Amino acid sequence: MIKDIAEVKECPDCASVNIVTSKERDQVVCKDCGLVFEPMDPETEAKFEKTHDLTMGAKPKKKK
């Protein structure tokens, strides 16, 4: 797993070094194959958190 986007020197898909690193958006765009690489997108993180919360199941958030 890539921890720091700034450490990405080449495309994870085609291994091209012709990439653009966007620190603001925290993603890497490959100019050769057009791949947009993100270490972890917000949706995936949110789903993971929900799953994790359900797995824990110790603190119900719903009040009746």
Interface with Zn ion by CB under 5 A: which residues?
11, 13-14, 16, 30, 32-33, 35
Report the residue number, 6 or 46, with the smaller CB distance to Zn ion.
Answer: 6
CA max distance for the chain: 56
Minimum CB separation from Zn ion for residue 31, in Å? 8
Smallest distance, Zn ion to C-beta of residue 50, A = 31
- Residue 13 or 41 with smaller CB distance to Zn ion: 13
As a dihedral over the C-alpha atoms of residue 6, residue 41, residue 31, residue 25, rounded to 10 degrees, the angle is -60
Gap between the Cα atoms of 16 and 24, Å rounded: 22
